[in-house]
Amino acid sequence: MSNTRRTIVIIIAALLVFSGFILARFPASHALALASRFSQGMLTANNVSGTVWQGKADNIYLSYFNQTLDFGRTQWRLAFWPLLLAKLDLALEAKNGKQHIQTHAVASSNRLQLKDTQITMDVARLMQFYPVPIDVRGSIELLLQDARLTDNGVEQIAGNIVFKEMAFTFQKAIDLGSYGARLSMDGDDVKADFSDLDASMVVTGYAKGNVTPGRYETDMTIKITEKTDDWIIQSLPMLAKQQEDGSFRLQQSGHF
C-alpha cells in the first residue's frame, strides 16, 4: 500500500472513530429537543439524562388532537449497528402510575416490528383522544408477542388483549366485567377471537378487519346472565337478533 493510500485510510479510520465517540456521547436531552422541534411540539420531555443510545426522562409527552398523553418515567436503549443498515432498533419502557408500556421496536423505511410488547392503560387515557358522550371506565392489557406493520397495513400480529373491569355510565352506572380476545391474522385481516372472563354477559365470536381497504366483519353471540343489567337486556334486541335458545347474535360487515 502506498503512503498516500495509507494516509487516506488512517484519516478515514480516525474520522469514523471520532464520529463514533461524538455520537456515543451525544446527550439525550439534545436529541429529544431536536425531536420536539421536528415534530412541532408533538413530542416533548423533561428531566432528560443519559445519551441518545441509553437514556431516561421523568416524563415524555405526546400531544395529538389537542390532547396530551403522558408516558411518565421513560427509559430506552438504542442499538448503534442497525443504524448503519438504515434500521432503528429501540428497547423502551415507560411507567406512569398504573400505566405501563414496554416494547422492543425495529423500524426501517417501510416496516415496523414490535416484539414482546406489553401495554397496560386506563381506558380513560385513550378515550380522551376519541371522546364519546358516555363515561367509560376500565383498563386495557395488551400483550403482543409479534406485530409487523408495513405501508400496506398489518402484515403479522400475534397476542392477546384483555378489557378489564369495564363499565360505563349512561343515565346510570352499568358494569360489564372483563373480556379477552386473542389476536391473530386471518388472511390479510386482523382477527380478534373474543371470550368472556369475569363478565356480566357470556360472549363468544370474532371481529376482524383490514384498515387498507377499510372493511370489517363481526359475528358474535351474546348470552345474558343474572349479572346482566336491565338496560343491556332491553337494548340487545335493537342491536342483535335473538336466537331460539335466548341468546343474541350480532352480525355486521361493511366498510369504514
What ranges do the domains of the chain cover?
97-255
Residue ranges of E strands in the chain: 43-50, 54-64, 67-70, 73-78, 88-96, 99-107, 111-122, 135-150, 153-169, 173-186, 189-199, 201-210, 215-224, 241-242, 248-255
Model confidence at 14: pLDDT above 80: no
Position 211 scores a pLDDT of: 79
pTM (predicted TM-score): 0.83
Nearest 10 degrees: Cα torsion 110, 115, 118, 121: 0
- Percentage of the chain beyond pLDDT 70 is 89
Of 63-67, 155-159, 223-227, give the lowest mean pLDDT range. 63-67
What contacts 55, CB < 8 A, 6 or more positions away? 28, 31, 48, 49, 75, 76
pLDDT per position as a tens digit, 18-64: 444 445 566 778 777 877 887 778 889 989 999 888 899 999 998 87
Provide the CB-side half-sphere exposure for 82 (13 A, CA).
14
pLDDT: which is higher, 222 or 40 = 222
Model confidence at 143: pLDDT above 70: yes
pLDDT: which is higher, 190 or 85 = 190
Model confidence at 120: pLDDT above 70: yes
Mean pLDDT of the chain: 86
Radius of gyration of the chain (CA): 24
* Mean pLDDT, residues 11-17 taken together: 49
Position 86 scores a pLDDT of: 81
* Mean pLDDT, residues 82-105 taken together: 90
CB 98 within 8 A of CB 122: yes
- Percentage of the chain beyond pLDDT 90 is 56
